[in-house]
A and B are shown apart, each in its own frame.
Chain A
Amino acid sequence: QKEVEQDPGPLSVPEGAIVSLNCTYSNSAFQYFMWYRQYSRKGPELLMYTYSSGNKEDGRFTAQVDKSSKYISLFIRDSQPSDSATYLCAMDFWGYKLSFGAGTTVTVRA
């Protein structure tokens, strides 16, 4: 069993739709939960991070962590074509030696 599971998609949505992404994990010691965005042939860039459980909102993005279910989510509201990318979840106890999910490829259709 992989430490972090993420549905690779692909996911295709019309512009303006809500994009819902999620990951499950097996290591209950994880404390830091990150979401990265990666454009084709580029390195990942940090979108959001959450420490421990709870919700965090940043503009059109909302990250949720449910430690009891070992489940994290990222929601993108009012999606734009520029949101088309691969989204990777990542997590760790200390926050730097990250375990990544496989990434979900998202296409937002204009």
Chain B
Amino acid sequence: GAVVSQHPSRVICKSGTSVKIECRSLDFQATTMFWYRQFPKQSLMLMATSNEGSKATYEQGVEKDKFLINHASLTLSTLTVTSAHPEDSSFYICSARDFSGGPTEQYFGPGTRLTVT
């Protein structure tokens, strides 16, 4: 299957700072990328959908000014958590798919664990 990478794999930051997480599709062009967050022992919650070259679509309840998403190229999407607070500590996972691919061709990254102190 195709490979999606995330960087960093884990990050610790201080309250009030901003953190950028990168999601890359390594061997295919991802016209659509998704960002999820996952709390311990809980499900993946979709935060936003981003299509290359256009603004991200955020799910209800997700603050778009706090979670900035940029999908500037067909292989890279970034999630920036601005003015992070301890309640933003979570596991953030991206997934990517090629628009021409079928529903099974959505590949998940390994996740980024964010801890805000």
Binding site for B on A (CB under 8 A): 4, 6, 8, 32, 34, 36, 41-46, 49, 51, 88, 92, 94-103, 105
Contacts and interface: CB of A to CB of B under 8 A. Distances in A.
Interface of B: 1, 4, 6, 32, 34, 41-46, 49, 91, 93, 95, 97, 102-104, 106, 108-111, 113
B108 A96 contact: no
A96 B106 contact: yes
Interface majority SS (helix, strand, loop, mixed), chain B? strand
A34 to B, nearest CB: 8
Which of A45, A88, A95, A102 has the largest count of B CB atoms less than 10 A from its CB?
A: A95
Contacts of A43: 4, 6, 93, 95, 108-111
6 contacts: A43-B108, A44-B44, A44-B93, A44-B108, A45-B1, A102-B43
B4 to A, nearest CB: 7
B102 A95 contact: yes
B103 A49 contact: yes
A102 B41 contact: yes
Contacts of B95: 43
A98 B45 CA distance: 9
